[in-house]
Homo-oligomer: A and B are copies of this chain.
Amino acid sequence: MPDPEPFDPIAEAHRQWSVRWPEHADHMAAVTSVMRVQQLLLARIEATLQPFGLTFAAYEALRLLAFTRSGSMPMGKMGERLMVHPASVTNAIRRLEQRGLVERHVSAQDRRVVLATITDGGRAVARDATAALNQANFGIPALARDEMAQLTSMLRDVRVAVGDIADVPVGSSLFTGRTVRGSPRPQTGWAGP
């Protein structure tokens, strides 16, 4: 790792904004910080996953299937759960299929639905890659759990503000896993169909 920079371009941009548009400087700095940290964390995560031949997107798809009880999920539902475009799911699953980690087949219940199913080999890779990511604390080993929980909570406020998720109390969903207040828990999810 190169020596850290004593100079922080985001702090400097905040200073420039504060001179010209002070009421917008804090929003600019927060958004630019999200962009920067995403870039740093993604690079670290993908370095951790590289020995397993997985991108982060492919890892998330594999992990999602490994969490299901049956090992299967409709491709369309995977896109919803992974919060990505259906084409991204298709690409990730195709690459996993080529390596024998996932199989695709048409649902016996509904011929319009394509299911992805994790193989035993896929479960082994998901298990080992998860162990590696956990070992690396997802790229941020030096930070405490409560700081991370606070960061998640603040980013959750952003997600609520932009309409990504409904505004339900954090305590009822993220930290206890209880049913979300006022809306029934969907029957599927990372827990699977």
Chain A residues close to B by CB (< 8 Å) = 1-16, 18, 21, 23-24, 26-31, 33-42, 44-45, 56, 67, 80-83, 130, 133-134, 137-143, 145-152, 154-168, 173-175, 177, 180, 182-183, 185-186, 189-191
CA distance A133 to B189 in the complex (A): 35
Helix, strand, loop or mixed for chain A's interface?
helix
**In the complex with contacts A143-B158, A159-B40, A166-B5 CB distance below 8 A:** yes
Q: Which residues of B contact A145 (CB under 8 A)?
A: 23, 26-27
B13 with A159: CB separation less than 8 A: no
In the complex, which of the residues B15, B164, B183, B186 contacts A36, with contact meaning CB atoms closer than 8 Å?
Answer: B164
A44 to B177, CA, bound (A): 30
- Check A30 against B140 for contact (C-beta < 8 Å): yes
Min C-beta distance of A16 to chain B, whole Å: 5
Q: Do the beta carbons of A177 and B34 come within 8 Å of each other?
A: no
Contact B36 A83 (CB under 8 A): yes
